[in-house]
Structure 1
Amino acid sequence: MPKVPALSDGFRPDRRGWGLALAVSAAVVLLPGCAAFRQIGVEVATFGAWPDQRPPGRYAFDRLPSQSAGSPEQVHLEEAAAQALQQVGFTAATTPGQADVLVQLGWSRSRVLSPFADSAPWGGSGLLDAPPRPDRRAHAAVGVGIGVGIGVRRGGIGIGGTFGEPATYDRQQVQMLFIDRGRREHLVEIRVRHEARYSSADYLPLLFDAGLSGFPDLKAGIRQVTVQLP
């Protein structure tokens, strides 16, 4: 296995081949833990609580005026939510009038500038800088746990991932609001957020699964959930 250059006072960042050695060594070290790349971590925020002793019952989607029933986006969203609802015991009502609960859905996805990309003191003035122009930097990253790692690029090296941080990352969030149909009472609201360099719309079923994990014991608060990718 190639030897990774030591981070010492005598280390020279421009030594030939050091970048390739680091990348190859990182791949070898992480190979036994490839299973970690088949999962994602999401944040689940729950407001309210599912009533004690209340069964899942029958549900129908309560669409907002801006949500077109026949649009591909809405169909994809409702199919993903229906899959998660059925797994915890809900059944789809034939008509909204036969439903015990109504379920409102929300979905948003955006591209966000990373606060760590090209921040001071390495060539920038801080978080108020405009997003950097696309360039041909070679990025590599090695991390253990949360917030600990090494980021590298051509011409420099930084501890903590500053130099190797991507300029932007994806933020995707889904919401579920359960409403008692007869009393029009809000029962529980769930928000699931996934932030990563890439977050696909194909993750929607997984995000809804994470939000309903533990049902009916949906305690109010924020929790971290790890979801296995198919």
Structure 2
Amino acid sequence: MNSVTSDVATFGEWPAGRPPGSFTIERLPSQQARGAQQDTLEAAARSALEQAGFKPATDAASADVVVQIGARVTRTDFTPWDDPLWWRWGGNYWRRPGYYWRPGWGFPPQYESQYDQEVGLLIRDRRTGSPLYEARASNESRTQASTAALGAMFQAALKDFPNAVPQAHRVQVQLAPQAQ
């Protein structure tokens, strides 16, 4: 896999003529409790913010904007019994939308996992606290997203910056060769 495709939606009205400026990432109390996990997520988002033209602030008080980030990864396990056609055909024929399996004899039946992954960020003006830009990127995969893949999802979320495109649309981001 050398690219990540995400469904992206962006919202807000970035002020015309305002450059991206400096940023600081703000942690919510729940994120402070997961320090190492949050550090990894912030590193992935930081790279995407810098590619969008933002610069890290030397301290929170001097930042032009405050960024809040988040990520969600949900694993769903499917079994043949989740498919009602499995029972009609007997044996362990089974299918899921987009996947068709040949008949199998014996057990154990085949299991399959799917990961629903989403990243999001909110950019607020530091002085007024007003929200300026919100972006979300999500995808479904048969494997859990690596740190590089989450970074690519943040890149996809900021691909349209500073324009807001609220209609969900697909964005593909190539992974760096060492990230594969």
Scaled by the length of structure 2, the TM-score of the pair is 0.80
Q: Does 1:89 align with 2:53?
A: yes
Q: Does 1:154 align with 2:100?
A: no
CA contact (8 A) 2:44 2:150 kept: yes
Identify unmatched segments of 5+ residues in structure 2: none
Which residues of 2 match residues 120-199 of structure 1 at below 5 A? Answer: 120-123=84-87, 151-155=100-104, 167-199=112-144
User: 2:150 corresponds to which residue?
Assistant: 204
CA contact (8 A) 2:4 2:152 kept: no
User: 2:161 corresponds to which residue?
Assistant: 215
Q: Does 1:63 align with 2:65?
A: no
CA distance in 1, matches of 2:12, 2:167: 9
Which residues of 2 match residues 6-45 of structure 1 at below 5 A? Answer: 37-45=1-9
CA distance in 2, matches of 1:117, 1:206: 35
CA distance in 2, matches of 1:114, 1:41: 23
CA distance in 2, matches of 1:196, 1:117: 21
Q: RCO greater where, 1 or 2, for CA within 8 Å and sep 6 or more?
A: 2
Which amino acid counterpart does residue 64 of structure 1 have in structure 2? L
The Cα offsets for residues 134-169 of structure 1, whole Å up to 9 and x where unpaired, read as: xxx79999xxxxx7x56123349xxxxxxxx96320
Residue 116 and residue 74 in structure 1: after superposition, are their counterparts in 2 closer, same or farther (change >3 A)? Answer: same
Which amino acid counterpart does residue 213 of structure 1 have in structure 2? K
Kindly state the Cα deviation for residue 50 of structure 1 after the two structures are TM-superposed.
Answer: 2.2
1:228 to 171, 174, 180: 174
Which amino acid counterpart does residue 143 of structure 2 have in structure 1? Y
CA contact (8 A) 2:86 2:95 kept: no
Which amino acid counterpart does residue 74 of structure 1 have in structure 2? Q
CA distance in 1, matches of 2:81, 2:14: 41
SS at match of 1:221: coil
CA contact (8 A) 1:39 1:227 kept: yes
Aligned Cα root-mean-square deviation (Å) = 3.0
Kindly state the Cα deviation for residue 178 of structure 1 after the two structures are TM-superposed.
Answer: 0.5
